[in-house]
Amino acid sequence: MGLSFYYSGEISDKEKLPELIEAVKTLVQTHRWKYEIYNTDFSQEAKNGNGIKQKLYGISFTPPRMRTS
């Protein structure tokens, strides 16, 4: 039996998404964790509030010995 944590959120300043991704990427690379980067820049539609939920934005990571299902 294990624990799973899932989190999603909203960034207040969409222009800072690339900076957030880089900061998290640096952390996960330091620890040699697996990671995946999704869309890194919000489209004009997303900036206007349309179509934002149809795409994934940001980065996800998996520490060692963790399941992803």
- State pLDDT tens for residues 58-68: 898 888 876 65
* Rounded-to-integer distance, Cα 32 and Cα 40, Å: 21
* Rounded-to-integer distance, Cα 51 and Cα 54, Å: 6
Q: What angle do CA 11, 23, 53 make, to 5 degrees?
A: 30
Residue 6 has pLDDT above 90, yes or no: no
| pTM for the whole structure | 0.70
**Within 13 Å and on the Cβ side, how many CA atoms surround 39?**
12
- Residue 3, pLDDT score: 64
CA nearest 20: which of 38, 5, 43? 38
